[in-house]
Structure 1
Amino acid sequence: MIERIKEIIKYKELLQNLTSKELKLKYKNSVLGFFWSFLNPVMMMLVYTFAFKYVLRIDTENFSVVLLAGLLPWTFFQNSVNSATTSIISNANLVKKVYFPREIIPLSLIFSNFVNFLITFIVLFLAIFIFQIKIGAAILLLPVVLVLLLGITIGLSLLLSSLNVIYRDVSHFVEIIFMAWFYLTPVVYSLDLIPDRFRNIILLNPMALVVESIRSVVLYNRIPEPKYFLGMLAYGIILLFIGSKVFRSIEKGFAETI
């Protein structure tokens, strides 16, 4: 894995160019351009706030901000994994023509989504200012949580993008899984609303650990429990190891299979 990382670093200019291309293509010929990065999470927040706070009457203080703090990392994760899963197939011509570490293709999509994700944090901090929520020293741990989220995303994306080359059903399966995964992650509800007997089961979900950790450091000025960090780290290492190993084993036949 270390040798592979060194090889990817050698091709860092290609990675930067593909990442930049993805960022530009996302809002190409769009009148509002990057403004959509802010508008999308705001519109989703308004819809979910109406549905869950005023219709289902979930009684959570500062519900809109709590929702947004969960919605932003989830949207990044879902968009990245979904787009990365089909990335090798979508770039078949590039894969067949020249040699480069094939991991660069899904990585460019993930990094472009990550840049967009960081931009949307402006919306979250604006909401924090409006609701007069105090930010404390715990927010210094936010970069650590985001790096762990990035590791989980990359590992899962490498695994699914390579498997999708052999089994095209994987991309359809992923879409269905994410529909259920969303509601098994405390995005539109707080972990406190879950009965104690089910809470530990929910915390087996890596995205539940991520969402709760982000809320803790950003909204509540609270250091997440050590088991949260250990859980995210374990998921990241395991997924990166399995994902890169499966990717490398299948990569040899990419050109012939696509």
Structure 2
Amino acid sequence: MNLLGNLFTAPYEILRVIRKNHTLIRGLIWREIFSRYRGSTLGILWSFVNPLLMLGVYAFVFTAVLKAQWTQSGPRSEFVMILYAGLIVFNFFAECVNRAPSLVIANVNYVKKVVFPLEVLPIVTLGAAAFQLAINLIVWFIFHLVWIGIPSATILCLPIVLLPLVAMTAGVSWFLASLGVFLRDVNQVIGIAITVLMYLSPVFYPLSTLPPQFRPFMLLSPLTLVVEQARGVMLWATLPDWTAWFVYFLISILVASLGFNWFRLTKRGFADVL
């Protein structure tokens, strides 16, 4: 197997791995979710409490203290909902990418098992992050219902908007999970890179506020398009730019295929290093 020779079959191989190991993946995802809150009094309820607390903090800081507005005429409560929508997307990506370099290292016992499909480890992280993303969306919906009203029907397009991000995140996670085995410094670099990416993506500000000459550079961020389109369907009743979405989707499939092939190509050397 080589990195580029199987690009056309890689998406099929990814789906085959998921289908073949779906029971294992589902069990590992639930174990990952419950292990985060094992021993705590509230247990899995913390997955609701944490976003509620964070949204309350955002509401107080940005409306009462900073008196921030997304637009000159927009209410401050709208600013909180816009900000939180962007953070939901960013946090999903950041959680998966931050954990990716240590995935294999933290599961050395699986490396020694010939029959264990190591490719599922990043998928499990994606599943656990997707669970928290769903919880965050429920919290966002409740606050939107109270502060603004019922969201537009365009919010039903949100899963389609997020689909390329899931593929992109999976590809990056496979690549970093492999790289983290051979280069232990990757963890430190990724932490810094994620922080920089947060400020180089339109999470805390609208893309339109940037000077026109800088906007093309912002589009290089893997989060810019999906954050803008997610906000569009969630808050402004606008459908995605399907041409831009399709291009982003093709790039995401390419990244996922390259990451998957890289992981499979290098995993034979994991046991020697670990």
The question of a shared fold, defined as TM-score above 0.5 by the shorter chain, is answered with: yes
**Structure 2 residue aligned with 1:159, among 166, 169, 175?**
175
Q: 1:218 aligns with which of 222, 227, 234?
A: 234
Which residue of the partner structure matches residue 3 of structure 1?
13
Cα shift at 1:80: 1.4
Give 1:66 deviation, angstroms. 0.4
1:205 corresponding residue in structure 2: 221
Count of residues in Structure 1 that have an aligned counterpart in Structure 2: 258
How far residue 64 of structure 1 moved from its aligned partner, in angstroms, is: 0.6
Q: Which residue number corresponds to residue 59 of structure 1?
A: 69
**Contact 1:41 1:72 survives alignment (8 Å):** no
The reply on whether 1:76 has 2:92 as its aligned counterpart is yes
Q: 1:148, 1:162 → 2: CA distance?
A: 22
1:130 is matched with: 146
CA–CA separation in structure 1 for the residues paired with 2:50 and 2:202: 20
**Take 1:25 and 1:226, find their aligned partners in 2: how far apart are those partners?**
39
Instruction: Tell me which of 16, 34, 59 is aligned to 2:44.
Output: 34
The code of the aligned residue for 1:191 comes to L
Report what 1:16 is aligned to. 26
For the 8 Å contact 1:154–1:240, the answer to whether it is kept is yes
TM-score of the aligned structures, taking structure 2 as reference length = 0.87
CA–CA distance in structure 2, aligned partners of residues 196 and 108 of structure 1: 40
Q: Is the 8 A contact 2:62 2:80 kept in 1?
A: no
- What's the offset of the Cα at 1:226? 2.8
Asked if 2 retains the 8 angstrom alpha-carbon contact of 1:19 and 1:112, the reply is: yes
Question: Of 235, 247, 254, which aligns to 2:251?
Answer: 235
RMSD in angstroms over aligned alpha carbons?
A: 2.0
> What's the CA shift for 1:176?
0.8
Output aligned runs, 1:112-151, within 5 Å. 112-151=128-167
2:100 matched to 1:90? no
In 2, distance between residues paired with 1:200 and 1:72?
A: 23
Equivalent residues of 2:164, 2:253 under 8 A apart? no
What is the distance in 1 between the residues matched to 2:14 and 2:84? Answer: 36
In the TM superposition, residue 121 of structure 1 has moved relative to its aligned partner by 1.0
Secondary structure of 1:252's match? helix
Kept in 2, the 8 Å contact 1:19–1:108? The answer is yes
TM-score, length of structure 1 as denominator length: 0.92
- 1:219-250 Cα deviation digits (max 9, x unpaired): 11101223431343133112102101211111
Match of 1:195 among 195, 211, 214: 211
User: Alignment identity in percent?
Assistant: 36
